[in-house]
Structure 1
Amino acid sequence: MSVERPSAESVDASDPTPSFPPERRNPLALWSWTAVGLAVVLGLAATTRFLESRVPELAEGTALAGFADAVEYPVYAIVLGLLGNLILSLLGLRDRLAPAFRTEFLIKTGLVLLGSTVLFDVIVRAAGPAVLQALALVTSVFLFTWWLGGRVGLDDRLRALLASSVSICGVSAAIAAAGAVQARREQLAYTAGLVILFAVPSIFLLPWLVEVFGLSGAQAGAWIGGNIDTTAAVAASGAIVGEEALQIASIVKSTQNVLMGVVAVLLTAYFAVKVAPEGRANRPGVRALWDRFPKFVLGFLIASVVATLWADNAPGDAQAGLDTAKALRDWFLIAAFTSIGLEFKAGSLREAGWRPIGVFAAATVFNLVVGLLLAVVLFRGVTL
C-alpha cells in the first residue's frame, strides 16, 4: 500500500523531500539526483550574483540606469528559477531534482543571518522622529492592509505577506512573515513581484512629488524611506533628491527594518491562536504554541543582539565580520528565491486573481498619504 506524501506547499512544510517513483527510491540514485539539483541551484544563484553586479554597470548612462540600479537579487533569482523550472519540466527532470530545492531551510537560515545585519542600537542612534514615524506608519499601514485584505476575502496568509511587505521593508519582511504564518511559496513569489513592480516607479515619482509639495530635504528623506519598499530603491530615490534626503531615508528605512522581527513574532502568535489548524474551537495551549513557533525568529533576534554587541565591542574592524554575515545572508536568500522559482506552481496564483494587486495598490496609496503627513509634521525643522 502506498503512502501519500503530505502537502509541501507552505514555506514551513515539515517534509521537504518529495515522493519518488519506485525506480528513484534507491538511496544512491536519490543522492545523485540531489547533488545535480544542488548544482543547478548554486549555478542559478551564481548567475543571479553576476547579473546583480553587471546589469547596473552595463546600463550606466542609459535611460534604463535607474531601473537597473533598483532591481535587487530577488527579481533575478525568481526569474532565473522560473526559467529553470520551465526547462527542467520540459526535460522531465524537475521532480527528480526536487530534493535539492530546500526553500524552507534556505529561507530560515537566511533569516537568521539577516538578524545579524539589523542592529538593535539603530533605534538608539536614529533620530527620535524616525522612531515615531516608523512605529506610527508601520502600525497604521499594516492594520489598513490587513483590514482591506479581509474585506475582499484574501487568504489570511497572503494578506499577512502583503501587509508586512508594504508596511515594513518589502521582500525581507515578506520572507519573515511567510515563515511565521506558513505561507505558500507561490504567495511569497507573488508578493515579491508586487514589491518590485511598485517600488521601481516610486524611485522617480517621489522625487518629483517632493518638488511639487516643496518638502525640505529631511521631510523628503523621511517620506521616501517610509514608503519605498526596497533598500536599493530607497537609496536611488533619496540620492535623486540630495544627500540630506538620502541620509534621513536610510535612517527611517533602517528603523522600520528593526520592527520586522517584532511583527514576525506577533504574526506567529496570532496565527497559532486565531488561525490554528485545529480550528477555533480547539485553540492550542502554551506548549502547542511553542511547538509551532518558528524557532528561526529566535535565531533572528539572537543574531541581532550578537551583531550589536560585536559592533560595539569587537577590537579592530568589526565591520568586516558584519559584511561577511551580510554576504552569507544574501547567498542563502538568493538560493531560496531561486528554489521558489524552481518549485513554483501557477495554480494558486490563478485562484487569487487580481484582488491582491488591488489591495497592494490601495495600501501603497494609503502608505504614501499617511507617510507624507508624518514626514511633514515630525521632520519639520529637522536638519543634519
Structure 2
Amino acid sequence: MSVNNKLNIHEDWVVVILGGLTILLTLSGLLLPIPAFSWKNFAELSDTVLSPSNLKFIGLQFLFVIVIATIGAFLTGKSVKSSLQTFPVVYILTIVALVLAGNSKVKALNLEAVIFSLAIGLAISNFFKLPEWFKTALSTELFVKIGLVLLGTTVIFSDVLKAGSLGLIQALVVVLSVWYFAFWLCKKLKVDEELTMMISSAVSICGVSAAIATSGAIKGDSKKLSYVISMVLITAIPMMIFMPYIAAYFNFPQAVTGAWLGGSIDTTGAVVASGSLVGEEALKISTIVKFSQNVLLGIAAFAISVYWTYTQHPAGKDKESKPTLKVIWERFPKFVLGFIGASVLFSFFISAEVNAEVKGSLKNLQGLWFALAFTSIGLETNFKDLFGKNSKKPFYAFLIAQAFNIVITLIIAFLLFR
C-alpha cells in the first residue's frame, strides 16, 4: 500500500502544518496526560512507570504521535504503510530510552534521554542488519523539526526581559564571540562546512537544540548531527561537575558563578544541576543566562540559513554569482518560521494562565519528538561513519572552542555580574 502522494508538499511546510496542528489542538483543550518515567528501584518502576494507568498514558501519547507521523508521511509523499510499520518500533525503543533516563542514579549524572535514544538505535543498527525499506521509512528530519517548532512555544520574550538586561547582554556577547571563534577555528583545522556550522552553534548558543536547529537550517547530514550531539552531551558532564568546584576554590561570587555556568555549559539540565551545587543565587542567574541564550536560537537559525543559502552556490552556476532573493526564499528552511511563529504566539497572544495550563503538555511532546528523532538517527547510522578517521579534527575543534567559551564567558561574567 505504497501511497504515491501527488501533493508531495515540501517537508518544512509539512512540519509547520503539523507543529501548528499540535499547538492548535493543545490550545483547544486536547491536553495529553504526561507519562511518568522517574523511578529509583525496580519496585518503584513496577508501581509507577509500568502501572496500568501510566501505560495507558503512554498508549494515548502513542496514538497521538503516530497519527501526526502518518499525516507527515502522506503529505511528504512517503509510503504510509512503511511508516505505520516502522513508527511503533521507533516509539517502543524511545520509551525504553526514556525509562532508562528516568532512573534516579542516571538523573544524578544528568544523562539526557536523547543520548539513550541514540545509543539504543546505534546498538541495533550496528549489531543487526536492518532492511533498506525500514531505514528509508524513518522520518528523522520530520521528527526533529516538529520538536523545534514546539520548542518555540517555550521561548517567551517577556520572561527574558523580566530576567534582566545583564543576562541578555552576556548572552549576545558570548554567542557572537564564541560562534565566530569556533567558526574560524574549524576553518583553520579544515573541518567540513556542515560540521563547522553545527559545532559553532552548539558551543556558542544552547548545545543540543542549537545543533539540531542548525542542521535543519543547512539541511545537514544526520550522522554529523549525531556526532556533534554526542560531543555536547559528553563534555557537559565534566563541566557540570568540576566548574562549581573551581568557582568555590577561587571564591567567585555566586552571581558571577551562575553567569559563568549558564553561559558556558551547553545543556539546560546540566546548567540547572551545576547551579544547584553552588547556591540559590547562582541557580537563578545561571538559568536566566541560559534562557537568554536560548531565545537567540530562532534569530541564529534564520541568520545561518540565509548565510548558508547565500554562500552555497547552486550546482552549475557561475561561482562568482550570488543567489537572488527568490533563490534564498526557495532554499530557506520554512520550519524556522514555525519556530518564530510559535514563539511570537506564546509571547504576545497567549495569556500567562493559558500558557501555564498547556506548557507541560507541549514540552512533553517536544521532548518526545526529539527522542524519537535520535532513536531514528541511531537506527540509520553506523559506528564507522560516526567515529571514523575524519572525526578527530572536529573533536579537537569542539574541545578548543569549548575551552575558549569557558574563558571568555568567565571574563564577561566578572565584568557584568561582579
Aligned to 1:144: 181
CA distance in 1, matches of 2:356, 2:274: 26
Contact 2:346 2:355 survives alignment (8 Å): no
SS in 2 for 1:277: coil
**Structure 1 residues not aligned, in runs of 5+:** 1-10, 15-29
Aligned to 2:390: 352
Aligned to 2:196: 159
Shift of 1:66: 3.4
Aligned to 1:368: 406
Q: How do residues 9-24 of structure 1 correspond to structure 2 at under 5 angstroms?
A: none
Contact 1:34 1:98 survives alignment (8 Å): no
CA distance in 1, matches of 2:314, 2:114: 30
Shift of 1:369: 0.6
SS in 2 for 1:229: coil
Question: What TM-score comes out, normalization by structure 2 length?
Answer: 0.78
Q: Quick one: which of 273, 282, 285 aligns to 1:248? A: 285
Aligned to 1:298: 337
Shift of 1:32: 4.6
SS in 2 for 1:354: helix
CA distance in 2, matches of 1:310, 1:319: 14
Contact 1:122 1:255 survives alignment (8 Å): no
Aligned to 1:66: 108
Aligned to 1:94: 131
Instruction: Confirm or deny that 1:219 pairs with 2:219.
Output: no
Question: What TM-score comes out, normalization by structure 1 length?
Answer: 0.84
Contact 1:88 1:94 survives alignment (8 Å): no
Instruction: Confirm or deny that 1:123 pairs with 2:160.
Output: yes
Counterpart amino acid of residue 159 in structure 1: T
Range 125-134 or range 252-261, more displaced: 125-134
Q: Quick one: which of 81, 89, 93 aligns to 1:44? A: 93
**Structure 2 residues not aligned, in runs of 5+:** 1-10, 15-78
CA distance in 2, matches of 1:267, 1:303: 19
Aligned to 2:68: none
Shift of 1:349: 4.7
Counterpart amino acid of residue 334 in structure 1: A
Counterpart amino acid of residue 41 in structure 1: V
CA distance in 2, matches of 1:216, 1:241: 10
Counterpart amino acid of residue 342 in structure 1: L
Shift of 1:181: 1.1
Shift of 1:215: 0.9
SS in 1 for 2:314: coil
Aligned to 2:48: none
Contact 2:101 2:107 survives alignment (8 Å): no
CA distance in 1, matches of 2:191, 2:133: 34
SS in 1 for 2:202: helix
For residues 112-132 of structure 1, give each alpha carbon's deviation from its aligned partner in whole angstroms, at most 9, with x where no partner exists.
011111112233112221111
Aligned to 2:84: 35
Contact 2:178 2:204 survives alignment (8 Å): yes
CA distance in 1, matches of 2:108, 2:96: 21
Matched length: 340
Contact 2:227 2:386 survives alignment (8 Å): no
Q: Quick one: which of 343, 353, 359 aligns to 2:380? A: 343
| CA shift in 2, pair 1:81/1:140, >3 Å | same
Instruction: Confirm or deny that 1:80 pairs with 2:84.
Output: no
Shift of 1:230: 0.6
CA distance in 2, matches of 1:240, 1:348: 34
Q: How do residues 326-337 of structure 1 correspond to structure 2 at under 5 angstroms?
A: 326-337=363-374
For residues 229-286 of structure 1, give each alpha carbon's deviation from its aligned partner in whole angstroms, at most 9, with x where no partner exists.
1111101100000111001100000000001111111110111011233363332111
Aligned to 1:20: none
Counterpart amino acid of residue 152 in structure 1: L
For residues 313-372 of structure 1, give each alpha carbon's deviation from its aligned partner in whole angstroms, at most 9, with x where no partner exists.
25x453121111111111111111111111113336525230011111111110111011
Contact 1:310 1:318 survives alignment (8 Å): no
SS in 2 for 1:116: helix
| CA shift in 2, pair 1:349/1:268, >3 Å | farther
Shift of 1:99: 3.6
| CA shift in 2, pair 1:327/1:310, >3 Å | farther
CA distance in 1, matches of 2:258, 2:292: 13
CA distance in 1, matches of 2:269, 2:131: 33
For residues 110-154 of structure 1, give each alpha carbon's deviation from its aligned partner in whole angstroms, at most 9, with x where no partner exists.
110111111122331122211111010010000000000000101
Aligned to 1:6: none
SS in 2 for 1:97: helix
Contact 1:77 1:341 survives alignment (8 Å): yes
Aligned to 1:26: none
For residues 8-37 of structure 1, give each alpha carbon's deviation from its aligned partner in whole angstroms, at most 9, with x where no partner exists.
xxx98x9xxxxxxxxxxxxxxx65544221
CA distance in 2, matches of 1:367, 1:31: 45
CA distance in 1, matches of 2:300, 2:93: 31
Shift of 1:289: 0.6
Shift of 1:51: 1.6
Range 72-81 or range 248-257, more displaced: 72-81
